[in-house]
Chains A and B, each alone.
Chain A
Amino acid sequence: MRTVDLFDNYLEGKLNAQELAAFELRASSDPVFQKAFEEHKTLVGILNASNERQVLKNKLKHIHSVEFGKEAKIISINKPEKLTKRIGKTFMVAASAAVIAVISTIALLSTGGYLLEKQDIKITDLGLEVAGLKSSQNAIVRKLNSKEDKPFAAANLEGSAFALNNSGYVITSWHMVNGADSIFIQNSTTERALTKIIFNDPALDIAVLKIENEEVSKAWQVPFTFNAKSAEVGEEVYTLGYPRQDVVYGEGSLSSLSGYSNDTAMYQVSIPVNPGNSGGPVLDSQGNIIGVIRGKLTTAEGTGFAVKSTQIIRSINSVEGETVKSELILNNTKSSLKKLKRSEQIKRINPYVFNVLVYKNN
């Protein structure tokens, strides 16, 4: 038997009385043996301790999520209401977002006697609403249209969206366009275009908009497809969105196959996302859409959540009503981005990622 095995047997209490006596005698008379044993014991002790700590940690995490689990909440990543001009906007947006985050935590803390109030962000109604929701042309919008050379009034909310297919349909976050009077999209190649809501799934927090003027999408050739398969943890992913006036690229990796509060309809991504990223696409390295940015954790930076493409496909395919169904087709031409460099991919994708401007009447 090797000395190391002897050490193991001693530590596990497997030695009989005679062996034990021999062991102890040697340990007390042979300093090299003793030192080697001490080292062995230390190392094995650490391995055991690490395991015990891990087991306990998991237990505590579980207790925490059962007892206090819903305290952390997702904030929607649309921009806060804004009263400033474009100039200085980035700063203002960043500043106001910070203020909102701080206030919400403190506000919650003070209401619950420092216990963060349980927040349930899940939308309970899982029913799909298929409707041409009214996008009434309110006064502001009419004024805007009539004076096209004048700068536009600031939108109440801004976010991101991207093309669903070649027929002028775009997808975005429902929380952004919910309750809107009018919704415009724009980017560097597409001028401000009015859209209406065609479809929404509040449970997934997605909405599909259609550009009213069919001329706008006439030459569209959407380069990406929706990935019908689940993405893998660790995959490189990136997003394009409009946290400010210009499109902004952000990259990271897929951190988890479930999102906030273990929601399996979402992915967790380590992409730094900011107000304005909501509704933007999450793409894999081959340029397939794997999700739509939905929100991020208020309590941790770099923890974004995206609605899975597989869920979106399921949701959109479940739409009833022939007219809507015939139009609501996800782009299924083969992705033409697969072999392109990232920068080339982005060049091709950019025309199909939009800044969404939402106007509310009150």
Chain B
Amino acid sequence: MLKPKVNFTDNDFVEGLKVGDDLVLKALYKKYYNLVLKLVVSNNGSSEAAQDVYQETIIILYEKCQDPEFKLSCQLQTYVYSVARNLWLKHLKKHGKTGELKEYHQDVFEDASSDTKTHLKKEESIDKVFKSLEELGEPCASLIKDFYIKKMNMEEISEKFGYTNADNAKNQKYKCLQRLKRLYFDNFTIVD
């Protein structure tokens, strides 16, 4: 079967990610996987670790692209390599393995490290919210997730959880959210 040969430029990739084009995402994923695989596997990592690092790298790039102001200030390949390299260095450090990294790309984009840091910080807060949700228990955790993540409306929630009406469900959601805030924030601000 013949397939049209598509060569995306760096800019095509960035624009594609901005609009959430799945074909572009797929092409991007294919393009730099081997580079990151090489980096991780030849620096004490398994191919599974390489997969994790690479997927996290793509997520970082994807999220950066959601910022309308974002512009690549280096080659895309350099950006991907630098982010993946940062993530892998962090991983090695965490496991007490330091030393010279075998490199597979000639330049490293220094600013990538702040993007990596921002990403990991966000990941930490996500973990913290989910931990708090777990502590919150049921039905509160599901109620919060259904409203804020699944975007269910109060009528649907009321039906699902067996509340008599939407107002009642709203009241429950309020109580649950207050408890969640109390768990998540050290000093949470009470209004109402």
Please list the residues of chain A having a beta carbon within 8 angstroms of any beta carbon in chain B: 2-5, 32-33, 35-36, 39-40, 43-44, 46-51, 53, 56-57, 59-61, 63-64, 67-68, 71-72, 105, 109, 113-116, 299-300
Contact = CB atoms under 8 A, between A and B. Distances in A.
A279 to B, nearest CB: 26
A32 B191 CA distance: 7
Interface stretch (B41-49, B70-78, B95-103, B155-163): B41-49
Contacts of B62: 56
Contacts of A68: 33
A243 B188 CA distance: 56
B11 interface: no
Contact of B34 (A32, A64, A105, A113): A113
A50 B126 contact: yes
Interface residues of B, number: 41
A41 to B, nearest CB: 12
A115 B126 contact: no
Contacts of B25: 59-60, 63
Nearest to B35: A114
A100 B143 CA distance: 50
Contact of B37 (A36, A43, A116): A116
13 contacts: A35-B189, A36-B189, A39-B188, A43-B181, A43-B184, A46-B125, A46-B126, A47-B149, A48-B148, A61-B55, A67-B33, A114-B41, A300-B48
A2 B192 contact: yes
Given A32-B189, A32-B191, A39-B185, A60 B129 contact: no
Interface in B144-192: 144-145, 148-149, 170, 174, 177-178, 180-181, 184-185, 188-192
Nearest to B29: A63
Chain A interface SS verdict (over half): helix
B29 A43 contact: no
Nearest to A51: B149
A49 to B, nearest CB: 6
Contacts of A51: 149
A3 B55 CA distance: 39
Contacts of B58: 56, 60
B174 A50 contact: no
B59 interface: yes
B51 interface: yes
A109 B42 CA distance: 10
B117 interface: no
Given A32-B191, A50-B130, 10 more contacts: A2-B174, A43-B184, A49-B126, A57-B59, A61-B55, A67-B26, A67-B33, A72-B48, A109-B38, A115-B33
In order of increasing CB-CB distance, the 10 nearest A-B pairs are A36-B189, A299-B48, A36-B191, A3-B191, A47-B148, A50-B126, A60-B55, A114-B38, A35-B189, A51-B149
B192 A3 contact: yes
B122 to A, nearest CB: 6
Contacts of A49: 122, 126
Given A57-B59, A114-B37, A300-B48, A64 B149 contact: no
Contacts of B37: 109, 114-116
Contacts of A114: 34, 37-38, 41
A72 B189 CA distance: 50
Interface in B51-104: 51, 55, 58-59, 62
B30 interface: yes
Interface in B14-50: 22, 25-26, 29-30, 33-34, 37-38, 41, 46-48
Nearest to B133: A47
A65 to B, nearest CB: 10
Contact of B59 (A47, A56, A63, A71): A56
Contacts of B59: 53, 56-57, 60
Contacts of A40: 181
A167 to B, nearest CB: 44
A115 to B, nearest CB: 5
Contact of B55 (A36, A50, A64): A64
Contacts of B149: 47-48, 50-51
B191 A60 contact: no
Nearest to B49: A299
Given A46-B126, A46-B129, A50-B126, A64 B29 contact: yes
A299 B29 contact: no
Given A36-B191, A72-B47, A114-B38, A67 B29 contact: yes
